[in-house]
Amino acid sequence: MDYRVSPGGQFSGRLRVAGDKSISHRSVMLGALADGVTHVTGLLEGEDVLCTLAAFRAMGVQAMGPEQGRLTIQGVGLHGLRPPAQPLDMGNSGTAMRLMSGILAGQNFDSVLIGDESLSKRPMKRVSEPLGLMGARIDTNEGGRPPLRVKGGQPLHGIEYKMPMASAQVKSALLLAGLYADGETVVTEPAPTRDHTERMLRGFGYAVNTDGATIRLRGGGQLIACDIDVPADISSATFFLVGAAIAPGSELVLEHVGMNPTRVGVINILKLMGADLSMENAREVGGEPVADLRIRGSQLKGIRIPEDQVPLAIDEFPALFIAAACATGETVLTGAHELRVKESDRIAVMATGLKRLGIDAQETSDGMVIHGGRLQGGDVDSHGDHRIAMSFAIAALAASGPITIHDCRNVATSFPEFPELARTAGLKLEVVES
């Protein structure tokens, strides 16, 4: 599947983008492990989340939906899962595979986690090794790659673990395994990462203590079913924020966007670049802060991106690279080596694509240096990475010619409504079966 996008246009109107993927995954997981019935609204119905739901159904969890973002989950309790008959397919989702490894490490049955071609190349030792310190037995393929073969019936014990790198997925896997461990599980982060797992555990009635960079919980508790309203995904909103910022005359309002303080790096970075961006109607829904975001077209300026913002915006950098390409002056990103091991090597793939569109973009080992200029038309390859496909699509708003993006099918994993919403907002996008 390819995207063909004609140049120019503006973003305008009011939109609510898809539900937050991170929160959607966790609502399915904790709802399945809770006692009672959990009702979810605003669920992201992308392929990644549907893979997570299918995995729990394969382990005996009953669920009605999803339909128009509504899902009802009949929880089985922490110890009520049943052995799956086949390997559990996590599709394209690193979040699902890493978090599920923590849950499955505490079960009394064996299980296998598999994924698509892209996920099968992603590193999993960062989660299998610390889980091993807790007593889990998880075998991987060469280089720590999937499939993950999880041996059941292993007694887990709490550990104190100082994470060598900031990763919400690793932190969450350890905390979820900690639900099944004897004693206390203590995780210390080197830098703040998204805290959806901690917030949602508390929402399900489980005691979690956060003291600065250290998170603690004790095993042996219980999750109590609750209702969850999933905010709009700030990562999905980012494509529209950047698109409006780079297109003169744009004015767009994005409604009910999750404003978790561990996820707002993109807001902070765009403001540092001079974006005309404001928050309205700030409120809290189900323990998560949300707000409406108003963005107008403006002339952005290049900056040196503060490294303390990198973990808070790690998934948003493909779109931010487009903002940098349209800014005056030089933008420098450092401290983002994690981008090398996402669904693609996002540093290499974005640099290559930007060069094809006439932008001076130079890779570094842990980031990129981008000299802003005028985007030209051309063909780019997303390498099957959903965020790269959507980033180059919105780049056409500021381009001098049409842009064709190849290999866009995986947009359905995180944001299946993107083409329709983008056209509604003003993007001249055509979806072509290649």
Catalytically active residues, by annotation:
315
137-141 β-sheet, strand order: 88-89, 111-114, 145-151, 137-141
Residues 242 and 324: their CA atoms lie apart, in Å, by 10
- Where does 68-208 show beta strands of DSSP type E? 70-74, 88-89, 111-114, 137-141, 145-151, 160-162, 184-188
Written as one string, the DSSP assignment of 88-127 is: EE-TT-HHHHHHHHHHHTTSSS-EEEE--TTGGGS--HHH
**Residue 207 φ then ψ, to 5°:** -75, 120
Please state, in angstroms and rounded to a whole number, the distance separating the CA atoms of residues 127 and 343. 17
Helical segments of 285-385, H only: 317-326, 346-356
Please, which residues have CB within 8 angstroms of residue 5's CB and are 6 or more apart in sequence? Answer: 393, 396, 402, 403, 404, 405, 427, 428, 429, 430
Across-strand partners of 285? 288
Closest among 352, 315, 344, 347 to 332, alpha carbons compared: 347
